[in-house]
Structure 1
Amino acid sequence: MKFRLIIIFCTVAICAQAQLQQVSGRITDKATGEPLPAVTVSVPGSRLSSSSNVDGYFMLSGQFPDPLLLRFSCIGYQTLDHHIQPGQLLNNLRIQLAANDRQLDSVVVSSVSPERFKLNQQTGMIRMDPKLIATLPSLGEKDIFRAFQLMPGISAGNEQSAGLYVRGGTPDQNLVLFDGFTVYNVDHLFGFFSAFNANAIKDVQLFKGGFDAKYGGRLSALMDITGKEGNKNAFNAGIDLGFLSVNGFVETPLGKKMSALVAYRRSFETSFYDKLKDQATIDNEHTNRTQGVGERFRGQSDVKSHFDDLNVKLTYRTDSKDVFSWSVYHGKDDMDNSTQAGGGSRLGNRLSSFFANTTDVASWGNTGTSLKWSKQWNTKLYSNTLVSYSNYFSERTNTLRSSITDSLGIERKFQSGAIEDNQLYDYAARTDWTWSITPMHQLGSGIQYNYQDISYDYSRNDTLKLINRQAQGHTTSLYLQDAWSLDDHRFHLVPGIRTTYFSPTGKWYLEPRLHGDYQLTEQVKLKGSAGQYYQFAKRVIREDLLNGSRDFWLLADDDRIPVSVSQQYSAGISWEDQLFLVDMEAYVKNMKGLSEYTLRFQPMGGTGDYADFFYEGTGKAKGIDFLLQKKKGKYNGWIGYTLAEVTNDYAIYGPDQFFASNDIRNEFKMVHNYRLGRFDLSLSWMYMTGKPYTAPTGGYQVTLLDGTKQTYLNVSAKNALRLPDYHRLDAAVTFNFGRSGKFNGALGLSFFNLYDQVNTWYKKFDIIENEIVETDVNYLGFTPNLSLSIKLK
């Protein structure tokens, strides 16, 4: 019986296909010639729709009227209606979309603001146009990560974090891809800015959960970034200048078939930079105080710090629809917080002189590159193949060397501090194929191979090795995904399966995926997703009660570091018309194999194998995201609200669950934009309930025979306390000048924390005369910033 039903179903599909037509082509930017991904192609008055792939190719099948009207719409671009008369060709169309520029000419200004983001068809997916975030309030420059943090279900965790905490997940649980290679370090300046230059980005898609079987290796979310290929029609250059950094780019055609883009950004030290730097390095001062013999002997610190990043991309297109591209990214931060101090002060009657110097230098960042070949073989078959390399590095030396000479001339030397070195190398190759079998049926498949080499060394006092781990591993993944369009295109269903072999454990891991949506009415849509996800390279939390947490990357081995797994479920409903969108999604995420490293439970006297202090736990995140958006018009914006709960369960901390450090129960955000002539006015306000934290309730220090100090603490229950609630108002004014397609630019003035709210970043604890002294470390107060952006076209 089942076999007959399958035959009948396939026969109906084939017969239906015979009565259908097919239209295909390629969509590009009218000004630059760059291909446009994720452009919606639809037939007005019907439910027929499709979207372009990363190379701008599209294919749409159905029973078309004659003549045919196709509508092309994309965020940041003017909607285009393309008429096809009877007898005209339906294949190999060349569609050009004009950008929805802020300036139309020297006098007339567009009265309709383009959408800054779009919730696409898939559950939990957000697409954002990097060109349209420049008017949002910012600390320094347009930042795609900061823009996403204004969306429901996504938070920064704190101001000093460009990473994304998505639906209860941590930043390391997000797969961040730039032109196909993985980026492990996503921030600059201790997290105040993201590592991605907006001038080098063409398109960003974020999946808050339920992403396709094509992707794997992370528990929480996916961010897929496509870099610009460079202007294919004419030379163009631009520069952004602010109180923090200078950012320049050049793009140009190289002959008829090749284009290039180079973008470089570097920070420079100003009073504004110093303000952020001092905020970021305040815990280094705390370290110096607790490790030295007294604040009065601590030297004056002149912290030197800077960051820079470079993007290069070359793209070559053949006449036979082959596309070859080479993309390179390098980003790095450097910090030198070393100090020197000395003197002849007398401590009591015994000490006559004291000298100390602190070495505190660090560098961290990411280098990545990919070589891609993609091809549209025909209207139904498309392939994308690439090889890539990524290297994450984080090195820090923070040691104190001191000597004390007593009145008898006897010198005693002391040394304390820590040295850390975390290196991650990721070599990958993958190929993905998409086959449109019928107008209602699309099949996707592929294979991916990764070789990862990860090491982490953590030493105290230059000699005591706490952690010394090095591991290599191979992962081989295969996936199959089946997309169906049913019930006259009302119902879209995408089941998928991914399986991965991980060499350190010698096991295969199965990851079923499913997402779909149903168009209940013309405005109302139901949607849902479910899936299982594994993570093999993970960032382990290292708890440090006095100085904050420090994290590091390791490779799982199912011994001390388990392979992590999550099951995600989400469901939602949305209502949308031409001007407004109301969207609501509920989600549940169950996580196992979480890891944490802490020395809180080490044996008395510091004995034991420090590698044994890795602990395994579980987690659960659940919540509801709500969004109300006015999409277009002189006034536009959105209101977002998230009600959520994130809990962890580690046996080492006791039998009860506790709230995770990133548990934010209520998160409310408002963004308002208004266009007044050449001026863009923007206002954003956010409110978040306080995050949980663990605090020492008592403690004492013991001076060991070698002169170092050992701290012993009594602590509260894990994350039993909460910081005060957080709220902040930001504003920005942007003046746009110049002419569209010619020399133009923008002058922006932004105000961070407009009403100077005092928000607590974290609690700092000192042990003074065997007593705990608590101090609030606060976020930035009122901070203005001025920026200038100029480009030729």
Structure 2
Amino acid sequence: MQITSSKLLFTILFLIGFTSVGQDTSNNLALSEFLINIEDKFDVKFSYSVSAVAPYDIEQNENLSTITEVIEYINLNTLFIAEAIDTRYITLVLTNKKLSVCGILKDAITQEALADASITISTTKGTISAANGNFSFTNINPTDNITISYLGYQTRSFPASLLIKKDASCKTITLEKEDFALSEIVITQFLTSGLQKTIDDNLIINSDRFGILPGLTEPDVLQTIQVLPGVESIDESINNINVRGGTQDENLMLWDDIVMYHSGHFFGLISAYNPNLTKRIEVTKNGTSSEYGGGVSSTIIMSTDNEVTNELKGGVGLNGLSADAFLQIPLSKNISVQLSGRRSISDQLQTPTYQSYFKRSFQDSEINSAGESTNTSLETSSDFKFYDYSAKLLYDISSRHKFRVSFININNDLAYQEFNKDSDLAIKESKLKQKNSAVGANLTSVWSNIYSTYINTYYTKYNIDSEEEEVSSEQQLKQENEVLETGIKFKGIFKLNPEINWVHGYQFTETGIHNATNVNQPLFTQRKKDVLRSHSLFNDFTYKKGFTFIRAGARISYFEKFKKTRVEPRINARQKFADKFAFKLQGELKYQTATQIIDFEDDFLGVENRRWILANDADIPLIRSKQFSGGIDYKSNGWLIDLTGFSKTVTGITASNQGFQNQFQFIKTSGRYTTKGLEILINKSTNKLSTWLTYTFSENNYTFDELSPDTFPNNTDLRHSLTFASNYSILNNLKIAAGATYHSGRPYTKPVENAETVSSGSTTRIVNYGLPNGENLDDFFRLDASLVYDFDWNTISSKLSIGVLNVLNTTNTIQQYYQVNPEDNSQAIAIKNKSLGFTPNASLRINF
């Protein structure tokens, strides 16, 4: 009975919201009540649909003296047509004429205009609110519904006819902030629509309203964040995103608050997270909330749509790599489900996109090496596919209690075979499977106007398994890397007063990592399993008043295995002044327990060389980062100028997780790296055009006390990085984008001139390397372009996207190392990995 009462209260409040919309309605009367009054006054009877009349109101008029005047008044002031059947009975029918509607969107408390909010009409039409909060639609059916959504605010839906323009004025619609307040948006239309910056200097990606970026045909989660200064990929791989000089494993990836240990399909060239239901992505480089632990370089939070839908929605898409589909299905008024799936199409059609990606992914692996073999009697075949699927159950127990369950599965499968062309007999067979499966559940509860809670639990499992067999000798090699993690988190939000929030909570995490290598001839088995449990308390106090924002807190973690406690203070502050300028300051100290080692000699078919391992507080210490950043930004008349300086020191890194391909490749020792730099962003936006330039200068150096020399450039040391791009709306439904990416060449180690190899034992020679990372590859340059065309078919909205990466087909070397020349062991030969060449792609998406 308690739940039923809550539902009834919610329904009443909801209907009240419908009729009020946001402007003063003190002189209005519900249309149904107006009709009852008229029936009593004139002894007549109206015939109408109760549900059709329920949402509407009408201005009171005490001067109506005859039933004829009443009928005229209804016809002039409502969407209904009243017609007298006889002297007593009157019919009331909703008109079918097209309407023009408009509104002004504002914050319910501050009354500030809300720009760039998403407004849709029955899923067939959409727009965004202007800078002053205004929006409008024409040619609307009276039965259409309008839905308004905005990051950090509660979504509202009501009949579009409530916004009919009268007397040259538009009604004001107010939005209430979410109970769990998201970070306030301070910069909208950041670079492109759907990209925004928050008051705590985070980047928000809203895939529903995502515009266009050069080279991309879809809002790829992990490709998109690389538009930010300080976020790079030294080898174009999503599996190798470097935030302020860090390595990929230093990024905490969360999907619906579940820790994920795998990020890319096609072994790193596209994101593994389907963008169609990944509605919101938040990227934090510094000043992270104490709620989040690990990820010493960045935190990337991906969230799916969290609102129960009352209508069936869905879509399908096809591009040069994959096909996908998603559905949002209402099961009842308070329960709905979301389903999505994506699968590669390479087994049916190998497009130019696939061929370019395949060449890039496998160029330095057994697969490509065999394909380039001079052995004319050898033939090879490979079968590669990827797929992912996800599901989410949304249950609003009541207006104050919401329960959610999310599931995701990500797969990459590769099968490879070498066989004799003459005899058609298999010589070598290999298989590689990479998978991340996860499930999580959470309960959000609003206990009062000042206190809310959030409880989350999850289970995640990552596997990479390979199997290789030499058929003639029956020798088999099997390799495994498995991560199992479970966690539970409780979070409370206490609104101490309108300006101060206190976020507090507890988190328990258990992580187990298993590594194994098995060879049958000669018999060799190596297995290792580690488990680490941690308990964490976190507290944040947030002060927000006027132009001042401060969030300060700390995370305290106890690691059972080491019996050690670590404290991680955090600070994030922003002070606006002179209306157009703002100072910002962030700082944090973080610890990380899991990391990846890179072994080029003992890898998975030469395709994947990373294995997750756990810290043991000995030769693999806890990774610790200490980071500070500060800067100033200017925003006025569509201009955004952002300057940020940063300094970061990360200790506890190991030589084996840096991927050295020089004299330090097989050395096991720990050290640190320090990176300092400056990030500059300049963006000019108008209604049709957005142009931006980003530049990053950074200096990144290793220090390993046991190596000689002990200090040298980091593998990810890109001194200069620059992007320049624009997108332009030729028409309301036709947009183009083009942009250039430039950065300094990454460091590499060159052999000693005239002494390129040296003896190692009586029969072996090895490369004789010079100064570590003493040389740099040639500078990297790439030009990308995209075009997007939107078109509608009745209730179906469609989008055609065309994109080209590396339009000029520029040859860029992204990695270089050396091997002893097998034909002359006194010489070393350079092995060079190239970037993507000219890579076209096209995408067709249909949503309903």
TM-score between both structures, scaled by the size of structure 1: 0.78
User: Does the 8 A contact of 1:753 with 1:783 survive in 2?
Assistant: yes
Q: Measured at CA, do residues 519 and 498 of structure 1 come closer, stay the same or move farther in structure 2, by a change above 3 Å?
A: same
Q: Tell me the distance in 2 between the aligned counterparts of 1:79 and 1:499.
A: 43
Q: Tell me the distance in 1 between the aligned counterparts of 2:157 and 2:711.
A: 53
Match of 2:648 in 1: 589
Q: Measured at CA, do residues 625 and 400 of structure 1 come closer, stay the same or move farther in structure 2, by a change above 3 Å?
A: farther
Structure 1 residue 433 displacement after superposition: 0.7
The answer to whether residue 195 in structure 2 is matched with residue 117 in structure 1 is yes
Q: Tell me the distance in 1 between the aligned counterparts of 2:308 and 2:551.
A: 35
Which digits, 9 at most, give the CA deviation of each residue in 1:161-216, with x for residues without a partner?
A: 35421111112111111111011100000111011100011111100112011111
The answer to whether residue 656 in structure 2 is matched with residue 573 in structure 1 is no
Q: Tell me the distance in 2 between the aligned counterparts of 1:461 and 1:279.
A: 33
1:451 counterpart letter in structure 2: E
Instruction: Describe how 1:695-774 pairs up with structure 2 within 5 A.
Output: 695=750, 698-699=756-757, 712-738=766-792, 742-763=795-816, 765-766=818-819, 767-769=821-823, 770=825, 771-774=827-830
**1:514 match: secondary structure:** strand
User: Alignment partner for residue 253 of structure 1, among 307, 330, 334?
Assistant: 330
1:377 counterpart letter in structure 2: W
Runs of 5+ in structure 2 lacking a partner?
A: 1-12, 19-105, 120-127, 135-152, 159-188
2:456 counterpart letter in structure 1: L
Structure 1 residue 96 displacement after superposition: 2.6
Q: Measured at CA, do residues 142 and 518 of structure 1 come closer, stay the same or move farther in structure 2, by a change above 3 Å?
A: closer
Which digits, 9 at most, give the CA deviation of each residue in 1:549-601, with x for residues without a partner?
A: 82211110112211110101010101112512111111111111002329999
Structure 1 residue 523 displacement after superposition: 1.0
**2:111 match: secondary structure:** strand
User: Alignment partner for residue 515 of structure 2, among 447, 453, 456?
Assistant: 456
**1:568 match: secondary structure:** strand
Q: Tell me the distance in 2 between the aligned counterparts of 1:461 and 1:297.
A: 30
**1:190 match: secondary structure:** coil
Match of 1:6 in 2: none
Q: Tell me the distance in 2 between the aligned counterparts of 1:141 and 1:504.
A: 44
Q: Measured at CA, do residues 737 and 598 of structure 1 come closer, stay the same or move farther in structure 2, by a change above 3 Å?
A: closer
User: Alignment partner for residue 782 of structure 1, among 820, 835, 838?
Assistant: 838
User: Does the 8 A contact of 1:367 with 1:392 survive in 2?
Assistant: yes
Q: Tell me the distance in 2 between the aligned counterparts of 1:430 and 1:642.
A: 36
Structure 1 residue 743 displacement after superposition: 0.7
Instruction: Describe how 1:570-719 pairs up with structure 2 within 5 A.
Output: 570-597=629-656, 614-677=668-731, 678-695=733-750, 698-699=756-757, 712-719=766-773
Q: Tell me the distance in 2 between the aligned counterparts of 1:199 and 1:650.
A: 44
Structure 1 residue 734 displacement after superposition: 1.4
Structure 1 residue 325 displacement after superposition: 0.4
User: Alignment partner for residue 214 of structure 1, among 272, 291, 303?
Assistant: 291
The answer to whether residue 361 in structure 2 is matched with residue 280 in structure 1 is yes
Instruction: Describe how 1:288-327 pairs up with structure 2 within 5 A.
Output: 295-296=374-375, 299-327=378-406
Q: Tell me the distance in 1 between the aligned counterparts of 2:645 and 2:278.
A: 31
Moved over 6 A (4+): 80-83, 545-549, 598-602, 700-704
Q: Tell me the distance in 1 between the aligned counterparts of 2:644 and 2:443.
A: 37
Match of 1:478 in 2: 537
Match of 2:566 in 1: 509
Q: Tell me the distance in 1 between the aligned counterparts of 2:799 and 2:660.
A: 55
User: Does the 8 A contact of 1:543 with 1:596 survive in 2?
Assistant: no
Q: Tell me the distance in 1 between the aligned counterparts of 2:611 and 2:239.
A: 17
The answer to whether residue 539 in structure 2 is matched with residue 469 in structure 1 is no
Q: Measured at CA, do residues 230 and 507 of structure 1 come closer, stay the same or move farther in structure 2, by a change above 3 Å?
A: same
Q: Tell me the distance in 1 between the aligned counterparts of 2:691 and 2:194.
A: 9
Q: Tell me the distance in 2 between the aligned counterparts of 1:618 and 1:343.
A: 54
Number of residue pairs the alignment of both structures matches: 674
1:571 counterpart letter in structure 2: G
Runs of 5+ in structure 1 lacking a partner?
A: 1-24, 31-58, 84-92, 99-111, 345-353, 403-412, 605-609
1:428 counterpart letter in structure 2: G
User: Alignment partner for residue 433 of structure 1, among 477, 487, 492?
Assistant: 492
User: Does the 8 A contact of 1:479 with 1:499 survive in 2?
Assistant: yes
Q: Tell me the distance in 2 between the aligned counterparts of 1:649 and 1:549.
A: 27
User: Does the 8 A contact of 1:541 with 1:595 survive in 2?
Assistant: no
Q: Tell me the distance in 1 between the aligned counterparts of 2:248 and 2:295.
A: 10
User: Does the 8 A contact of 2:267 with 2:607 survive in 1?
Assistant: no
Q: Measured at CA, do residues 60 and 728 of structure 1 come closer, stay the same or move farther in structure 2, by a change above 3 Å?
A: closer
The answer to whether residue 408 in structure 2 is matched with residue 329 in structure 1 is yes
The answer to whether residue 541 in structure 2 is matched with residue 446 in structure 1 is no
Q: Tell me the distance in 1 between the aligned counterparts of 2:438 and 2:273.
A: 12
Match of 1:10 in 2: none
Structure 1 residue 703 displacement after superposition: 12
User: Alignment partner for residue 152 of structure 1, among 219, 229, 236?
Assistant: 229
User: Does the 8 A contact of 2:642 with 2:680 survive in 1?
Assistant: yes
User: Alignment partner for residue 434 of structure 2, among 356, 364, 367?
Assistant: 364
1:240 counterpart letter in structure 2: G
**1:754 match: secondary structure:** coil
User: Does the 8 A contact of 2:308 with 2:334 survive in 1?
Assistant: no
2:433 counterpart letter in structure 1: S
2:461 counterpart letter in structure 1: N
Q: Percent identity?
A: 23
Q: Tell me the distance in 1 between the aligned counterparts of 2:435 and 2:769.
A: 34
Q: Measured at CA, do residues 275 and 484 of structure 1 come closer, stay the same or move farther in structure 2, by a change above 3 Å?
A: closer
Match of 2:551 in 1: 494
Higher RCO (C-alpha under 8 Å, 6+ residues apart) = 1
Match of 1:15 in 2: none
Structure 1 residue 755 displacement after superposition: 1.1
**1:651 match: secondary structure:** coil
Q: Tell me the distance in 1 between the aligned counterparts of 2:463 and 2:832.
A: 31
Match of 1:33 in 2: none
Match of 2:319 in 1: 242
Match of 1:72 in 2: 114
Match of 2:67 in 1: none
Q: Tell me the distance in 2 between the aligned counterparts of 1:565 and 1:335.
A: 36
User: Does the 8 A contact of 2:427 with 2:470 survive in 1?
Assistant: yes
Structure 1 residue 387 displacement after superposition: 0.7
Q: Measured at CA, do residues 695 and 466 of structure 1 come closer, stay the same or move farther in structure 2, by a change above 3 Å?
A: farther
1:785 counterpart letter in structure 2: N
Q: Measured at CA, do residues 478 and 784 of structure 1 come closer, stay the same or move farther in structure 2, by a change above 3 Å?
A: same
Instruction: Describe how 1:262-281 pairs up with structure 2 within 5 A.
Output: 262-269=339-346, 270-272=350-352, 273-281=354-362
Which digits, 9 at most, give the CA deviation of each residue in 1:2-51, with x for residues without a partner?
A: xxxxxxxxxxxxxxxxxxxxxxx99xxx9xxxxxxxxxxxxxxxxxxxxx
Q: Tell me the distance in 2 between the aligned counterparts of 1:298 and 1:122.
A: 62
1:247 counterpart letter in structure 2: D
Match of 1:791 in 2: 847
Q: Which has the larger radius of gyration?
A: 2
2:538 counterpart letter in structure 1: Y
Q: Tell me the distance in 2 between the aligned counterparts of 1:460 and 1:631.
A: 60
Instruction: Describe how 1:73-222 pairs up with structure 2 within 5 A.
Output: 73=115, 78-79=128-129, 96=156, 115-123=193-201, 125-133=202-210, 135-138=212-215, 141-222=218-299
1:180 counterpart letter in structure 2: D
Q: Tell me the distance in 2 between the aligned counterparts of 1:465 and 1:641.
A: 51
Match of 2:455 in 1: 385
User: Does the 8 A contact of 1:653 with 1:718 survive in 2?
Assistant: no
Q: Measured at CA, do residues 460 and 726 of structure 1 come closer, stay the same or move farther in structure 2, by a change above 3 Å?
A: farther
User: Does the 8 A contact of 2:356 with 2:838 survive in 1?
Assistant: no
Q: Measured at CA, do residues 545 and 310 of structure 1 come closer, stay the same or move farther in structure 2, by a change above 3 Å?
A: closer
**1:277 match: secondary structure:** helix
Q: Tell me the distance in 2 between the aligned counterparts of 1:599 and 1:319.
A: 50
Q: Tell me the distance in 2 between the aligned counterparts of 1:176 and 1:490.
A: 31
Q: Tell me the distance in 2 between the aligned counterparts of 1:237 and 1:700.
A: 63
Q: Measured at CA, do residues 713 and 163 of structure 1 come closer, stay the same or move farther in structure 2, by a change above 3 Å?
A: closer
Q: Tell me the distance in 2 between the aligned counterparts of 1:599 and 1:400.
A: 31
Q: Measured at CA, do residues 138 and 420 of structure 1 come closer, stay the same or move farther in structure 2, by a change above 3 Å?
A: farther
